[in-house]
Amino acid sequence: MKDNIININLETSTAPIITEVRGKDYIEYGDANGEWRNLYPQFLIDLYYSSSITAAIVNSTSEMIAGEALIIEDDEDRNLEARVRLENFMNRANGNESLHEVIKKLSFDFKLQGGFALNLVWSKDRTQIAEVYHVDVSKLRCARPDEFGKTPGYYISADWSNTRQNKPYYVPAFNANDRTSANQIMYSGLYSPNMNSYFTPDYVSCNNWALIDGRISEYHLNAISNGFAGSFMISFANGVPTAEERRQIEQSLTDKFCSETNSGKFVLTFSDDKTRTPEITAITPSDLDKQYLALQELLTSNILSGHRVTSKTLMGIDTANGFSSNTDEIINAANFYLNTVIKPFQDQLVKQLRKIFQINNMDMPVDFVQLKPITVQFDSKTIREVMTQDEIREELGLEPLGDEEVVDEAVINETLDFSKVGMIDGKPVFSTIEEAEAHAKTLGCEGYHEHDLDGTTTYMACKDHSEATELSKFIEEFGEDIPEDWEILDEENVNDEHEDFDFEAELNKLVEGKTELASTGTARPNQRSTQDGVNDSYNDYFKVRYMYTKDTALSQEGETRDFCKLMTAARKVYRKEDLLQLTQKPVNPGWGPRGAATYSIWLYKGGGNCHHYFRRVVYKTSLRNAKSNINNSQIISDVKALSEGFTLKRNSGLVAKAPKRMKNNGFLNPR
């Protein structure tokens, strides 16, 4: 009887049972008896590619785990040497990648596979870990544990489904006490019940629903490609043909009716006997669309629950209502997800990384700069209408004001950046005149002028495009070009250099025959600083300047604030005394304490969250025959010791620190 039925396929498929199978040099990972034997990681990869919901959650979660950056959290700079080593390691984890780039890959594996792996490369003398590389955890299998139950090493294969052509090779497990091998593998993850060697993903319980998601997409693809399949049953009443005849009939019907172009056509039959006409019976339920929608909603809900996601919008799965109507949902869901799901992943990553830091004598507290959900941005008018002054200031990370005080509109526009509609020549343009005029006040100018932006009239601050701001005036008047006819003796962070510390005066004391230079009283470009030194015997001139520099360990992206854009684009160096004068000039208004127009640029650079600091550069004239009675390197080392030993006023360490690394990220209060 079964031979009389053509092409009935009711395939059943469930997620494989996770097992650890012993018997070889390594522990097999997957279904002990099924098609996924020792291939469970590949099953998870296939699931990721077949289920759009799973892929969206894995992608979003891995990005949250990696965050924007990994930063050092030692506000006191208790160990400067360790900090420098760690920053260098974070900038270059291996020959091609920064540490954060490696972390992005680890985060993806951690979420998708439940664990992550690093290849640690020891230095030639085995004293330090020279490089770290991401290892695709799906290519890894654990060796059989030793008598103490520990995994001694791991086997790596490019394709575990074909080990004959991709023979596994052995790499020892990370062990700081046994550095015989040049390479070691660090494998880690969160606790997985009933597992001894491997770490499983946290969403295993919803994998059957993810399989349904993939099957539904296949169903619709097949329905489009084969418009006849599964929709009708055809019964012929003229006897049972042979197997070959049945195949011919099936092929004929398939060729004529089953394709996306033939879908919806009618069937034409010919017969001289009503009793022998084919019977065509529809088998598609009339409410299939409703059933599909119900199933889609059910599987989406179950997949989200398996991943502990409380909002579809947070994962970018459902934005039908727009972000504006779901702001509260996103914020609440994000806080829950970050604290209960993301933070444990990040803590485990940091825990393993600090093992490496300890070996390299650069162990310092580090943490992730967390990604935050994208929420709606409102213009300043709307903000003033729906928020109190103290609520606005709390959003800015500022202290509350009294009832008698009001929030400066310029501070709102500049700090929150709500109303900019575009940028022209690196300067913001606004949709209204009022906004442009408010922004003009923050720049030290008045009025506005018009610009065309994609066919729309927009407004830019100041009466003229080229009108000079306080900052541009300062750069033009006091900024010096990087001297080409001077050689750099030393370039370093301005650590522990207080405002009152006369660095070059100390330098001059070390130079035989030095001549004191009198202060000019006013600052001029290329004018000698009161700290510049001269060696009369050999005509050696020394000068110290300061350069506005990005902390590349925090970010590789371009500058976003007008102040930082102008300072970096100018490519100038400055005298210390000129930078100190900026305390009284509104070169970056709105970023001072409680929205003040002025503050110490020397200490706080571009304001809260700024990624820049001042780098000190020591120059000497490049006279061909110039010699010094004191070795140049000795001069610099002695001065460095003096500067670093100047501990009477320790707040000076802020000069070399980007506000992003300061307490509260450079703001008065935590944000």
Q: Of the ranges 124-128, 200-204, 212-216, which one carries the lowest mean pLDDT score?
A: 212-216
- pLDDT at position 515: 35
Mean pLDDT of 350-367: 92
- What is the C-alpha separation between 347 and 328, in angstroms, rounded? 27
- The Cα-based distances of 414 to 411, 431, 560, 609 in angstroms read 5, 15, 12, 14
User: Higher model confidence: residue 538 or residue 366?
Assistant: 366
List, for residues 467-490, the tens digit of each pLDDT value: 557 787 788 788 888 766 677 777
Q: Of the ranges 389-398, 546-555, 606-615, which one carries the lowest mean pLDDT score?
A: 389-398
Whether 229 and 258 have beta carbons less than 8 Å apart is answered as: yes
Sorting pLDDT into bands at 50, 70 and 90, what band is 42?
very high
Mean pLDDT of 36-41: 91
Whether 99 and 107 have beta carbons less than 8 Å apart is answered as: no
Residues with Cβ < 8 Å from 200, sequence gap 6 or more?
18, 114, 192
Most confident of 97-106, 594-603, 658-667: 97-106
Residues with Cβ < 8 Å from 18, sequence gap 6 or more?
29, 30, 31, 40, 195, 200, 204
- pLDDT at position 75: 57
List, for residues 438-452, the tens digit of each pLDDT value: 777 656 577 888 888
- What is the C-alpha separation between 590 and 274, in angstroms, rounded? 91
Residues with Cβ < 8 Å from 670, sequence gap 6 or more?
397, 664
Whether 217 and 224 have beta carbons less than 8 Å apart is answered as: no
User: Higher model confidence: residue 19 or residue 100?
Assistant: 100
Look at the block and give the residue holding tokens 């490609």.
225
Tell whether the model's pLDDT for residue 641 goes beyond 70: no
Q: Of the ranges 29-43, 372-386, 464-478, 513-527, which one carries the lowest mean pLDDT score?
A: 513-527
User: Higher model confidence: residue 376 or residue 312?
Assistant: 312
The edge-to-edge listing of strands for the beta sheet with 153-156 is 140-142, 153-156, 169-172
Q: For 28, list phi and psi in degrees, rounded to 5.
A: -70, 145
Helices 288-306 and 207-225, packing angle to 10 deg: 150
- pLDDT at position 480: 85
Tell whether the model's pLDDT for residue 565 goes beyond 90: no
Most confident of 188-197, 471-480, 594-603: 188-197
Say what percent of the chain tops pLDDT 70: 64
Q: Of the ranges 1-10, 558-567, 646-655, which one carries the lowest mean pLDDT score?
A: 1-10
- pLDDT at position 306: 92
Mean pLDDT of 54-68: 93
Mean pLDDT of 11-27: 75
Most confident of 412-421, 520-529, 586-595: 586-595
- pLDDT at position 230: 55
DSSP state of 650: G
List, for residues 568-593, the tens digit of each pLDDT value: 887 888 888 888 888 888 888 878 88
List, for residues 314-340, the tens digit of each pLDDT value: 787 764 444 444 566 677 788 888 889
- What is the C-alpha separation between 341 and 362, in angstroms, rounded? 28
Whether 614 and 549 have beta carbons less than 8 Å apart is answered as: yes
- What is the C-alpha separation between 231 and 284, in angstroms, rounded? 5
- pLDDT at position 436: 83
Tell whether the model's pLDDT for residue 525 goes beyond 60: no
Helices 52-66 and 343-359, packing angle to 10 deg: 50
- pLDDT at position 109: 96
- pLDDT at position 649: 38
Tell whether the model's pLDDT for residue 410 goes beyond 60: no
Q: What spatial distance separates the first Cα and last Cα of the chain, rounded to whole Å? A: 74
Instruction: Decide: residue 100, CB within 10 A, 0-12 exposed, 13-18 middle, 19+ buried.
Output: buried
Q: What would the 3-class secondary structure string for 23-66 be? A: CCCECEECCCCCCCCCCHHHHHHHHHHHCHHHHHHHHHHHHHHH
Sorting pLDDT into bands at 50, 70 and 90, what band is 11?
very low
Sorting pLDDT into bands at 50, 70 and 90, what band is 415?
very low
- pLDDT at position 76: 59
Tell whether the model's pLDDT for residue 308 goes beyond 80: yes
Q: Of the ranges 45-54, 84-93, 334-343, 394-403, which one carries the lowest mean pLDDT score?
A: 394-403
Residue 663: helix, strand or coil by DSSP? helix
Mean pLDDT of 530-540: 46
